[in-house]
Amino acid sequence: MKPKTIYLMLCFAGALLPYWQFIPWVVHNGLNLPLFVRELFVNRISAFFGMDVLVSAVVLVVFLRVESARLNIRRRWLPVLAVLTVGVSLGLPMFLYMRELRMEQPKTLGNSAM
pLDDT on residue 50: 94
84 vs 80: CA distance, rounded Å:
6
Buried b / exposed e over 62-73, threshold 16 CB at 10 Å, is: eebeebbeebeb
% of the chain residues with pLDDT over 90? 90
Average pLDDT over residues 21-38: 96
DSSP string computed for 65-96: HHHHHHHT-TTTHHHHHHHHHT-HHHHHHHHH
DSSP assigned state of 30:
-
pLDDT in tens, 67-112: 999 999 999 999 999 999 999 999 999 999 999 999 988 765 455 5
- pLDDT confidence of 114, banded at 50, 70, 90? very low
**For the whole model, what pTM was predicted?**
0.85
Q: Is 2 helix (H, G, I), strand (E, B) or coil?
A: coil
